[in-house]
Amino acid sequence: MSLEDQWIATEKRLLHEADSMAEFLQQLRSRISPQLIGDRAWEITLEHAQNLPVTVAALPFGFELPLHDSRAIADFGISVIGGGQSATFLEEKGKAEGADSSSANVAWLLSETESEESTLRRIVGRKLMLEYDIDVESHAPFPAPGIFLYPDKDVLVGGGGDQQLRDLFTVVDAVAYSANLDLSAEERRQIESVYLATKPDTWIQAVGGFPEREGGIRLSVMGFKKANEVVSFLERIGWPGECSAVAASASPLEERDAFTYMGVHLDVRANGVGETLGLNFYAREGEWLKDIQHWTPLIDGIREAGVAVPEKLTELVKWASGSEPLSGKSGQFVLMRGIHHFKLTLVHDRVEKVKGYIFLLVFAWPLTANLSK
């Protein structure tokens, strides 16, 4: 059975398990440490998830954990692929009378990739990710989620020419429209400059935007193997921070052989790339790793650097337990829990934040698809 067949079969089974994603998440609460996600953050997550279908659990979903912060808070993220039950739900919701602009924009984006002749579909397939900010201290209405598209790895490879630039701006324009971002000519020029500074062994992994955040378009550039490669790239694009701080943060982890490659997250504005830099670390080429041993050198390096709350790192190690059976109303499932990546956020000359990105994924039983370890 292919992964697509497994996903579709799981969606059908999940429809018998709960009436919403919130109801399904409640069944998983005991598996998530309250030291990582506290009760208030969990309650807000459920409020968001109440408006999502249970079938969201058939694709990777998870949490962005601020490991530098002693508070038990986390943002929430989901994946959606066009053609599935979740995509149909979101399209119908966004096209319904009285739909809010965020829902309507997500529906538009999904519809743009429906046709096999769609240029956007050729570049990004039919997948998108929604990221929900979970603010435990605000009583304001929930902000619209961030929207991310993921170009196929071999499409927006670094060092490309005019065709790659056209493809890049097809994605950028789709994200900008969906996130209500009005890009100026100067912002577009800056985005082009970032791409032209890439090398053939790197690629644009993601293009994103947040409807209610300042910061412009977010670009994610992947494939850096060594700290000096990142520094060289940042120098070429004129990052306004201290590149020596990037080297000082990444080099000790490189010496530990703690990662296979790195990625850089940049917010691109009219006056250039923003001072805030996200430096992502991936333990293996595959990004959905369910075994903690892949991450041990990196976690040890973060612990030794003293930039994260030690107790949170300990809980994170307990979290990544691999696969386990999950009993449901319609039969057996397999629940996967793992770590997707870590991110150091640098501002000018220092590490300000450390985040761990954890994921969950549910498969209908029997599990016949070939999964990475």
Q: Are 205 and 143 in contact (CB under 8 A)?
A: no
Tell me the per-residue pLDDT of 139-192, one tens digit each, with 9 for 90 and over.
777 889 999 999 998 999 999 999 999 999 999 999 999 999 999 999 999 999
Backbone phi, then psi, for 42, in 5-degree steps?
Answer: -65, -40
Nearest to 96, CA basis, from 47, 148, 51, 145: 51
Whole-angstrom distance, CA of residue 143 vs CA of residue 148: 16
CA dihedral 273, 130, 351, 259 (to 10 degrees): -100
Below-70 pLDDT ranges, the chain? 1, 286-289, 367-373
First to last CA, the chain: 18
Whole-Å CA distances, 357 to 77, 187, 338: 10, 29, 9
Q: What local confidence, expressed as pLDDT, does residue 231 receive?
A: 98
Nearest to 149, CA basis, from 223, 218, 197, 245: 218
Q: What local confidence, expressed as pLDDT, does residue 1 receive?
A: 63
Q: What local confidence, expressed as pLDDT, does residue 372 receive?
A: 45
What is the CA 262 to chain-centroid distance, rounded? 14
**Which residues contact residue 90 at a Cβ distance below 8 angstroms, ignoring those fewer than 6 apart?**
80, 103, 106, 107, 110
Backbone phi, then psi, for 225, in 5-degree steps?
Answer: -95, -30
How many CB atoms are located within 10 Å of the residue 329 CB? 8
Whole-Å CA distances, 182 to 178, 268, 294: 10, 13, 41
How many CB atoms are located within 10 Å of the residue 348 CB? 13
Q: What local confidence, expressed as pLDDT, does residue 177 receive?
A: 95
Q: What local confidence, expressed as pLDDT, does residue 276 receive?
A: 96
pTM passes above 0.85: yes
What is the CA 217 to chain-centroid distance, rounded? 15
Tell me the per-residue pLDDT of 350-370, one tens digit each, with 9 for 90 and over.
999 999 999 999 999 875 444
Q: What local confidence, expressed as pLDDT, does residue 245 receive?
A: 97
